[in-house]
Structure 1
Amino acid sequence: MDHNDSFREFMAAHQRSLMRTAYLLTGDAHLAEDLLQSVLIKVLGRWPELAHVASPQAYARKALVNQYISWRRRLVRTTELPSAEPPERSHSSEESTIVRLAMRQALAQLPPRQRAVIVLRYYEDLTEHETAKLLNCSIGTVKSQAHHALARLRALAPELAPKFAEMEDLKGAHR
């Protein structure tokens, strides 16, 4: 099997998960696509060496987070526009849609590093150790960033406080 075939297999297996991570980081489908595309170009360039590592998905996920943080640092102004009306969605439960929208709006207001920690820890279900490794920081930094981010999220969206408590309880039991 040549490198192009193995990269295609990698993409077939992990593109959806990587796109979800990109979307959760950016909060915008188009930006997420751009982010993922720019990262996949880098991954493809390094594929001959990455094809033989234990987890090329971990490399791609780390590249997503690093590229996202880099983009956020360069932005002079935000690309997210407040809207009086939520975008139309075809989800089954109106309540879950409202929760998702409130969560997305609150996440968008976090600094990039805190947002990355929340996405990796609670949406990607990574351990503190895995998150620290991806973000190239200490476990203590991950813990403090998560703590500060959850406190900020509680202040931004008090109606979601039970959801944040549930997230902390779940992770507290599975460190």
Structure 2
Amino acid sequence: MAGKLVCGVLPVAGLAFLNKAAAMHVALSKGHEMLMEVSTAVGSYVKQSFNMAMKAIAWTLFKHGRRVVKMFLDKSPSTLATAIVSMVTAGKGTIEKWGDEKGEEWSFGKQRREAREKLPESYDGNINTIWNQDSSEEFGDEFSENCKEAIVLVAQGLDEYMALQRIAENRQQQLVNAVIKNNG
């Protein structure tokens, strides 16, 4: 975007001081193309800035959300908190280390990698090694792809349903209007 502005728009503006007719010709003949390229670049910039802002917001919410969960699990005597603590590897000790600068990293991705690494490396003909690192990775990839496709299909189905509901409401409203218009 900056290149188009500096090397395209500014020279045409400068040319307008020297020769208005030449600047007008360049602007009319190449202006549309340059405007399209600059607007595309501006759109990309805005989209990227929006994505970066959303990532920053999500990261902040994640960090603060984890602190809230940690406080809930540390302080709450509820059975839910106790059940959650019992599911976490090493229990309260792990939860107390959450957020420590020198603490060990904990994430679902790390737990998944560690579980995968505990599996046998490949299938050796034995029934016990059918579920190995390769098959678990393939399963994870396929599951992820199919899950995304299913979510899209569900969203499309909901869109179709809502569209049909609106069509039905509009038909009903048209029928009521026709009855009112024809005096019953």
Tell me if TM exceeds 0.5. Answer: no
Higher RCO (CA < 8 A, seq sep 6+): 1
User: Which structure is higher in helix share?
Assistant: 2
TM-score w.r.t. length of structure 1: 0.22
